[in-house]
A and B are shown apart, each in its own frame.
Chain A
């Protein structure tokens, strides 16, 4: 009995690439197909938070590209999948969708505080999976060839297309943002000046039970919500 289809989850760090290499080795032995999955976590993190989380630099920023290149070298059929969401959940869901017979995972080897904080994906998957799970311990597989390959794959410079500089566009944007800002500025400084000492009698004038100055403040708050909505709808309409 062998495995016809396996799933391995990769994230660009050493442990998961060890598991990937093991998957490729098994696939060669069993003539199996490997599904390589990368899950992007959807958590709002600040850049510094990310910097502090990463203990070591990743071996590659593009694990799926590396996986494709390595599999081609080894002559093993692979399918790459990219998902977003909770890591363990995405692995389990993909395993079901692809109907794989084995899930391979790397074990980060995090201990103590680190493990408490990050939890263990390998553990979570093996606890909740309905099919066999193989956990490859950190350092068990020698991945120096993968590291070499990662260096060779010249990282594609990020394809940020630099649009043509168009001063009219800057002017157009300035007109829109500037108008909203101007309206806000007028409302704000009107309310501010009316409540200053020389004009405080105007601000104290009572309209419908409230001094004019307080009305100005309330109007500022309400129009703030409106202005924000106008701004967001324009932004949303464009994207």
Chain B
């Protein structure tokens, strides 16, 4: 088997090695450096802020959003706005009470209020496993396409190889120094996105970022052109000519800045934005990052650092996506027209890198994308490991087992979980990774998110309310997620939407509330509320 882009592949491999090296170096450095400086808290908050950013920006943000924009124009940006806003929803609604209570994972919070309930533990563990394995899918789909592009192998081969390698890397080595790794990966992926933005602006838009907007107003969105006039675009001599030709052929078509191109209808849109908005509240691996640093000041600084990073990143993504549509117009139209939407939507970003700076740039961008996948996979797998070791093995299987045994069991279980994710990734190869992540958000929004919000704010919530509410949310959201994967148009008389949230979120909330009102076990509500809402 020959490599299509050996240099780019080499850059990716080196970047992985460097990030492993740095994480090692830092851990050792904090112990053995001879210098003792009183720059209190400075390094931890920067590292933590960057790790938070790296953990949060997954393949969906790096590849999926810009890819979606390059195909349907500004509608694709919705994913980015959702990813951005939901992060703040977490901050405002639960961050402070959780910090006060000293609990950072959903399981801990529920445990603090309701004690050791087998029912809650079991539902939490199942939800964690479902969320982690489904959230892994888009990362692996992204990796599969990426290595297919770099190596020229079949998608099936690359998905299996990269899925197994990522899991092995994370489980066997990467879980050490997670924080440092994620911080380094955060720098790499933000840097890669900015490099793309700056160089694309200079090369294609005379160095003026506003020219991207001007040009976008003229462009017929890729998906529209691919459907109606693929041949016109194909026969154009250059990308610029293709953009012109498409506009001449379809003078009344919407532009890349016209909203509504990528949307089906109001309800689909609402379901997506709802799922995105409260989804992150229920993603177990995000919360934990808020307070890895010790003192409040450092925590605040790292949050501020992250919000700026996210704002810059998600705004840049809009411009990069539009720049991709312009510079790769004929290629993207051709890919979509010939049914290779999966490649177009997920690989648009690395393809722009290649066009701008050849194999070298392709390598840098691919390294950024892989950094996004790795940092997120690390966060997810470490959460899954904790949950399996803690909630499954220690609480249900073998309560008196030593730590080592629990961790080793959990590591094996994580491989099984990754295997399921790889199988799903093979099946779902033509989905946009951003939309896949959106679905995971929808499931989280129907399970952990209401559990967390209600535990923290509603004294009347009961143990049974949590168990039944989460179970309902999980089942309903899974049914509609898989109905979507199987391509069903409707299920039980309800139309299947792009995201399960519109059905599962209200269903979950209703069951949480009704089951709570019908039962009495509110847990240690006074103690918990007093801790979570104390005066500082």
Binding site for B on A (CB under 8 A): 41-49, 51-54, 57, 84-90, 92-93, 116-121, 123-125, 127-128, 160, 162-167, 169-170, 173-174, 177, 180-181, 184-185, 187-189, 191-198, 200, 203-204, 209-211, 213-214, 217-218, 220-222, 224-225, 227-229, 231-232, 235-236, 238-239
Contact = CB atoms under 8 A, between A and B. Distances in A.
B17 to A, nearest CB: 14
A44 B48 contact: yes
B88 A163 contact: no
A198 B92 CA distance: 31
B394 to A, nearest CB: 11
Classify the interface of chain B: helix, strand, loop or mixed: helix
Interface in B30-68: 30-38, 40-41, 43-44, 47-48, 51
B259 A195 contact: yes
Interface string B362-379: 000000000000000000
B96 interface: yes
B234 interface: no
Nearest to B308: A225
Nearest to A88: B32
Contacts of A125: 34
Nearest to A40: B294
A228 B303 contact: yes
B286 to A, nearest CB: 12
Contacts of A196: 260, 263, 265-266, 269-270
B531 interface: yes
Contacts of B37: 85, 89
Nearest to A233: B300
Nearest to A127: B34
Given A53-B176, A121-B31, A184-B89, A44 B44 contact: yes
Contacts of A200: 258-260, 263
Contacts of B178: 46, 49
Contacts of A163: 530-531, 534-535
Interface string B359-400: 000000000000000000000001101100000000000000
A184 to B, nearest CB: 6
A197 B529 contact: no
B227 interface: no
Interface in B293-336: 293-294, 296-297, 300, 303-304, 307-308, 311, 314-315, 318
B28 A118 contact: yes
A165 B527 contact: yes
Contacts of B273: 188-189, 192
7 contacts: A116-B24, A124-B32, A170-B457, A195-B259, A210-B213, A211-B257, A218-B315
A197 B265 contact: yes
B292 interface: yes
A144 B98 CA distance: 40
Contacts of A43: 26-27, 30, 44, 179
Contact of A184 (B47, B88, B531): B88
A181 B30 contact: no
The 8 closest A-B pairs by CB, nearest first: A89-B36, A200-B260, A124-B32, A119-B28, A128-B34, A44-B292, A165-B530, A93-B36
Given A48-B385, A227-B88, A211 B32 contact: no
Nearest to A49: B178
A131 to B, nearest CB: 14
Contact of B36 (A85, A194, A232): A85
A172 to B, nearest CB: 8
Contacts of A188: 81, 85, 273, 277
Contacts of A232: 300, 303-304
Nearest to B77: A217
A51 B24 contact: no
B206 interface: no
Nearest to A122: B32
B51 A44 contact: yes
B176 A204 contact: no
A46 B292 contact: yes
B213 A209 contact: yes
A224 B536 CA distance: 25
A235 B92 CA distance: 11
Nearest to B47: A44
B253 interface: no
A167, A203, A221: residue with the most chain B Cβ atoms closer than 10 Å:
A221
Contacts of B24: 116-117
A117 B30 CA distance: 11
Nearest to A201: B260
A163 B100 CA distance: 11
Nearest to A42: B44
Contacts of A84: 40
B514 interface: no
Interface in B479-536: 526-527, 529-531, 533-536
B459 interface: yes
A184 B276 CA distance: 13
Given A203-B259, A218-B315, A45 B81 contact: no
Contact of A239 (B33, B35, B179, B296): B296
A118 B32 CA distance: 8
A214 B314 CA distance: 13
A163 B527 CA distance: 8
B274 to A, nearest CB: 9
Contacts of A210: 213, 257
A183 B158 CA distance: 45
